[in-house]
Structure 1
């Protein structure tokens, strides 16, 4: 059975974007990027909301083999392109080969089915998508960057309390903290 994991990079005060929609404060140092490579290497599928998909797809599929890119980024691009990707959207009309387009109304049934059919991690990206299926999420992974931004888009816009238990933590030389939680 698969495990659904929601993970994002955040400021230490819990935001994935600043109030202007920017996320430049979340540029990972090489050690954090390598951890992301290790994470995607264990992923059986990547599950994206439309906005995160659009942010990730073009840079990482075109980064593949790009001359001059750091080795850690080239490795991530190769792993990204090899991993099955699902995008949940009602506005996209088509996606490239290797990506499955799913209507938002079918998100919960699709992820429920994948969770039963897949052995491995199903990695959700995007706070609205994660909030829409929060009851299916097994683990929450936070990469907390050493910056406070005071407002913006929160890690998970859920209007209810979610008791969690910390099961792993790691600090990086760059000051970023990795926190892995399961439901309490």
Structure 2
């Protein structure tokens, strides 16, 4: 997930824009998606990702790193967990939210590789199934909004990897202790 340094994925107005992602972040995101076997999205994050990366940003004239991400994104199986969507395009599988735990359990057993869970409500609903937390913290404080993880949860984690990008964005990968 992308967060502010104070741990929010949305600002108090529901905004996701913590600033223009720098080229080093886009390269890191491309490397990240190469390591991803499938995306598991909540509905809102799916809607924020799907149209831009399958229709808009992969077109000729977009920066090369964005076109590369768009291609990698489209090649990666995507699962959207939603009770309101009725249809999804080819390359996307629709899963009802009530089935999230059983579906994620099944996918973890059947898919070889990393499953990326995106969206705070989905992540909260399958929290016990998440082995690693990958956080890109942007150098901004938003002072409130939607937190990355559910309030009141305590998880013991161990830092497994960290990098500082030239743009000031920090990547941290945590594993369960």
TM-score w.r.t. the length of structure 2 is 0.97
Supply the distance in 2 between the matched residues of 1:111 and 1:168 (Cα, whole angstroms): 24
Aligned to 1:70: 63
- Count of aligned pairs: 177
Q: Tell me, yes or no, if structure 1 residue 126 matches structure 2 residue 119.
A: yes
Supply the distance in 2 between the matched residues of 1:144 and 1:124 (Cα, whole angstroms): 17
Asked if the contact 2:46/2:80 (under 8 Å) is kept, the reply is yes
Segments of structure 1 that go 5 or more residues without pairing to the other structure are 1-7
Aligned to 1:4: none
Let me know the Cα RMSD of the aligned residues.
1.0
Aligned to 1:16: 9
Supply the distance in 2 between the matched residues of 1:142 and 1:32 (Cα, whole angstroms): 12
Supply the distance in 2 between the matched residues of 1:90 and 1:102 (Cα, whole angstroms): 8
Q: Offset at 1:27?
A: 3.3
Alignment of 1:76-115 (within 5 A): 76-115=69-108
Q: Offset at 1:65?
A: 4.1
Aligned to 2:38: 45
Supply the distance in 1 between the matched residues of 2:12 and 2:170 (Cα, whole angstroms): 22
Segments of structure 2 that go 5 or more residues without pairing to the other structure are none
Asked if the contact 2:58/2:66 (under 8 Å) is kept, the reply is no
Q: Which of 97, 105, 110 in structure 2 is aligned with 1:117?
A: 110
Structure 1 segments, 4+ long, off by >3 Å, are: none
Q: Which has the higher contact order (CA 8 A, sep 6+)?
A: 1
Supply the distance in 2 between the matched residues of 1:158 and 1:24 (Cα, whole angstroms): 22
